[in-house]
Chain A
Amino acid sequence: DAEITQSPRHKITETGRQVTLACHQTWNHNNMFWYRQDLGHGLRLIHYSYGVHDTNKGEVSDGYSVSRSNTEDLPLTLESAASSQTSVYFCASSRAGTYNEQFFGPGTRLTVL
């Protein structure tokens, strides 16, 4: 079955380290998204991509970057992790032209000490 996976599922890191969170989908969806979920803020969009080599900033993109070298993967990089980036991160994807029904991965819980 097609699916969307994230790795690692849990990560603890230290302030200042570079961290990369992986997202892989097997639906062949053009659109991919990264969100963070925090108590009191709900889900907020970090970055998104509408296809290979396309990336766009979302609502809370400072301190994060993404790159899209193929259809299946959209890794999220924290260049220099900060305690404010402790959160649960969700990746999602949708197929272009289908009214954008988004499907979500299981999430990565990141703790920055």
Chain B
Amino acid sequence: KQEVTQIPAALSVPEGENLVLNCSFTDSAIYNLQWFRQDPGKGLTSLLLIQSSQREQTSGRLNASLDKSSGRSTLYIAASQPGDSATYLCAVSISGGSNYKLTFGKGTLLTVNP
């Protein structure tokens, strides 16, 4: 059974700092990995999707990397801003017949202080 772990559970940083959020998964036979952002009381917003054949994806100040062999992904946020404060969730789907089902980590709560 695929398990996804996100460390740390919470992170507080001053504005302007570069930061890294971590995601690990137990089964390396993944179909894709998706990073989401969730604001309090809101739904999930897709940030980046990395296909199993890719090593990284970038969108603006965000860069996500994937190392399937070690079962790890990182989300790098450059020059953090207070507006980046949210919970960040990592989710993976596995290869094979169930490759559309996502397994989620419990998230990292990020606070960026002005």
Contact = CB atoms under 8 A, between A and B. Distances in A.
Interface of A: 31, 33, 35, 40-45, 48, 50, 58, 90, 92, 94, 96, 99-107
B100 to A, nearest CB: 5
* Overall SS of chain B's interface: strand
Contacts, number: 58
Interface size classification for chain B: 20 to 34
Nearest to A40: B106
Interface string B90-114: 0101000001111111110000000
Contact of A106 (B31, B43, B101): B43
A94 B42 contact: no
A100 B99 contact: yes
Interface of B: 31-32, 34, 36, 42-46, 49, 51, 89, 91, 93, 99-107
Contact of A101 (B34, B43, B101, B106): B34
Contacts of A33: 101-102
Given A42-B106, A42-B107, A99-B32, A104 B100 contact: no
Nearest to B104: A43
